Structure 1
Amino acid sequence: MLKNVLRIVIALIFIASGFVKAVDAVGFSFKLEEYFSPAVFNMPFFEKQALILAVLVVAFELIFGFFLLIKSQLKFTLSMLIALCVFFAFLTFYSAYFNVVTDCGCFGDALKMEPWQSFWKDIVLLVGLLILYFLYRNEFNEPEEKTPFKKYLSAFAFLTMVFVINWGITHEPIIDFRDYKIGTDLNIEKHKIAKDPSEFKTYYSLKNEKSGEVLEVNQDDYVNDKKYWEEGSPWIIDEAKTSSKLVKQGYESEISKFKPETADGIDMTEEILKAPKSVLIFAYDPKNANINILAQAEAKLSQQKDALILGVSTDPNTFKTINNAMMDGTAIKTIARSNPFVLTLEKGKIVDKRSAEDYIKQKN
């Protein structure tokens, strides 16, 4: 009884983890790109293959999580999941120890986990899988019962997986776990951010030139104790080791990064959020965006009446027939995954969000 409960729980964790990544495989590929970047593993070739690898990892989790749930090919399934856990434990440990990737993306945008939380989650799963391997070892060679129900359920699960992954890649995620979901009022979110901001303090690394002693002192203690800064003080600030640390976590939202600017640096956020209707086309990677799609979307946007129309990208010359604005590419990626996509706001509230290709096909 206990081993069946443990098996089902672990299987559901893998299925849940795989599902939220399957919904947004493109978003998970962005996370893999972070791991392959020069700042982490420096594997530029794999950056280009990130989406393919993301789909493979997602499929791996879902398929073997499902196999574990229905007790199919148990020895092979447990072996594969143990290998997967070892792999993820290495990645999360590396992220946590060297502080290079702050969120592993284990549960996509549905559940944010800090690096050490992700690592210990992987360790707990690994221990659970090893226990299951030991408990089920005597059943590995028993013939597997293959019922019609299992076959139909497996076929349904596989087709569902393919549909969900494909929809998220070719359109937008079928379930939106991000801060920019339809119905979100950006004005309200920005008010919450302003009302409860995060607080940071500067920490100085001080070295005593006489004794060689090294101290780390926060900005308040430094100012309040004149021995650190009075004339003739032996304490010298090491600027290279001065850091800023979070001391109070405020209201967190990716919407804090929503800040379209003109090429001259003029912030257009307020104008966009106060307009009765704003229709914005975004491209986080304009060089690789489909030129025909961009042109058709621009043409359709130009037909919009009584709306603020704006093209937002990382290049001030992306859009040819509408006004251009600039925004950080990573910040654009947090809004939607398509390149390009169209966002519609009414007085700052998101009322529609879709890929530019779907926007073109949409009836007025």
Structure 2
Amino acid sequence: MHKLIIKTSRILFGLVFVFSGFVKGIDVLGFNYKMVDYLESFHLDFLQFTTLPSSFLLPFIEFAIGAALITGVCLNIASILGFAFMSFFTLLTAYIWKYNPVQDCGCFGDALVISNAETFLKNIFLFTLAVIILKYRKTTFDNCKTTRKSSFVAMCIFMVSVMTYSYTHLPIVDFRPFKEGVNIPEAMKTPEGAEQDIYENVYYYKNINSRELEQFNDTNYPWQDTINYVFDHMDEPKLIKKGFTPPINDFRVENREKQDVSNFFLTNPEYGFLWVSYNMNKADKDAFKASEALAEWAKSNNISFIGLTSTSLSTIDQLKEQYNLSFDILNADETMLKTVVRANPGIVLMKNGTIIKKWNANHIPENFSIELLNKLEKELN
């Protein structure tokens, strides 16, 4: 029984670390965005230059620790690193649970979103496993067999390959609401009868007779008793139960006059391309030439090609002139654009509000044709 507990702890801990590292590693840019959010919430913006390298390194280390524990390779190092990881992140998530600086810890990327309280409890459990693994690391089986080492190396090579491809192209698995095949208007709907958010309100009324300030809630506040009470103020409503939230609730595109023109993209019955760059200053400028070539092809075939960015209008105009970009570029929310496509810039093919295909602008097909678009749409269905 003693050995069974140790082995179960090791395998379970390893599986969680492999899964956690993998789902972050297939979405390096998404993990990078989350790390930027962390640094901003802790007022450590000056460290943002470290986020991209860390977005590769941390998921790989996490995956490698898990792989080592599963295969039984380098158990001494893996158990020490696993304990160190959990010591740090248990303390960090305890702070996040208490002060709520970010809404989502990003522990499992977009694959599994859990609350800050659930994250802390999860880490308490994993920390317990880490202690068991560390304490009994020398009582497990010999870790020098070639087959185990080969398995460990193969897993690590696989992880590096997946991370590299996902960063240079797009994530091999898309867990976000704007994945291929999603119809945006449908994903924006709230079903009839869906649960609504429930808030708790606290009201303060002054007792006219005693001149004291008294506290009330929604069930007993004396709004009709104008003889004995007069309203003073109320606290900010507190969310006590989250209701249904549509998968997509932030799709909004504005023209240069700040008018909402989202409906065009949601109802256009023909093929249309979206060129997405959440920040044109940070975009890969080498991809601009290929983007313009696709825009010219689209124009010659009467297909809309419109850019979306959160960049200021003056910067848009400057960069359009500098890189000879002929297509219109409209404004949208930065966070939404980061969610639409994990590339800067990226290309999205749509029809009737449905996302048919997405590309990193550095890896778009060289020979576009109407037949190719039709083929992509058929493959989706």
TM-score, with length taken from structure 1:
0.88
Q: Which moved more, 1:327-336 or 1:146-155?
A: 146-155
Count of paired positions: 352
- Deviation of the 1:344 alpha carbon: 0.9
Partners in 2 of 1:113 and 1:328 — Cα distance?
24
Per-residue CA deviations over 1:56-107 (Å, capped at 9, x if unaligned) read 2111111111111122232321111011011111221121111111111111
Correspondence for 2:290: 296
Q: How far off is 1:246 after superposition?
A: 6.0
The residue type paired with residue 166 of structure 2 is G
Q: Among all aligned residue pairs of Structure 1 and Structure 2, give the percentage whose two residues are the same amino acid.
A: 23
**Aligned twin of 2:372:** none
When residues 138 and 247 of structure 1 are mapped into structure 2, their CA distance, relative to the original with a 3 A threshold, is closer
TM-score norm. by structure 2 comes to 0.84
* Structure 2 Cα separation of the partners of residues 214 and 66 of structure 1: 59
SS in 1 for 2:359: strand
What CA distance in whole angstroms lies between the structure 1 residues aligned with 2:13 and 2:352?
45
Contact 1:280 1:343 in 2 (8 A): yes
> Cα–Cα, structure 1 residues 287 and 356, in superposed 2: closer, same or farther, change >3 Å?
same
Distance 2:198 2:6 in 1: 47
The structure 2 residue matched to 1:355, chosen from 351, 355, 360, is 360
* 1:263 Cα deviation after fit: 2.1
Compared CA separation, residues 307 and 199, structure 1 to 2 (3 A): farther
Structure 1 pair 160–138 and aligned structure 2 pair: CA distance change class (3 A): closer
Pair 232,156 (structure 1): closer, same or farther in 2 beyond 3 Å: same
Structure 2 unaligned blocks of 5 or more: 370-381
CA contact (8 A) 1:206 1:235 kept: yes
Change (3 A) 1:107 1:274: same
> What's the C-alpha RMSD, in Å, of the aligned pairs?
2.5
> Which of 7, 13, 17 is matched with 1:4 structurally?
7
Alignment of 1:210-249 (within 5 A): 212-213=212-213, 215=215, 217-218=217-218, 225-227=223-225, 230=226, 233-238=229-234, 241-243=235-237, 245=239, 247-249=241-243
Deviates more, 1:148-157 or 1:18-27: 148-157
> Structure 1 regions of 5+ residues with no counterpart?
none
**Helix, strand or coil: the match of 1:225?**
coil
Match of 2:280 in 1: 286
Query: What is the CA-CA distance between 1:204 and the residue it aligns to?
Result: 4.6
Q: Distance in 2 between matches of 1:271 and 1:176?
A: 25
- Answer yes or no: is the 8 Å Cα contact 2:9–2:132 preserved in 1: no
Matched, 1:50 2:59: no
Deviation at 1:138, TM superposition (A): 4.0
Supply the distance in 1 between the matched residues of 2:211 and 2:354 (Cα, whole angstroms).
60
In the alignment, which residue of structure 2 is the partner of 1:343?
Answer: 348
Q: 1:216 to 1:105 in 2, by over 3 A?
A: farther
| Paired amino acid for 1:257 | D
- CA shift for structure 1 position 261: 1.3
SS in 2 for 1:256: coil
For residue 79 of structure 2, give the secondary structure of its aligned residue in structure 1: helix
Asked if 2 retains the 8 angstrom alpha-carbon contact of 1:198 and 1:246, the reply is no
Contact 2:189 2:246 in 1 (8 A): no
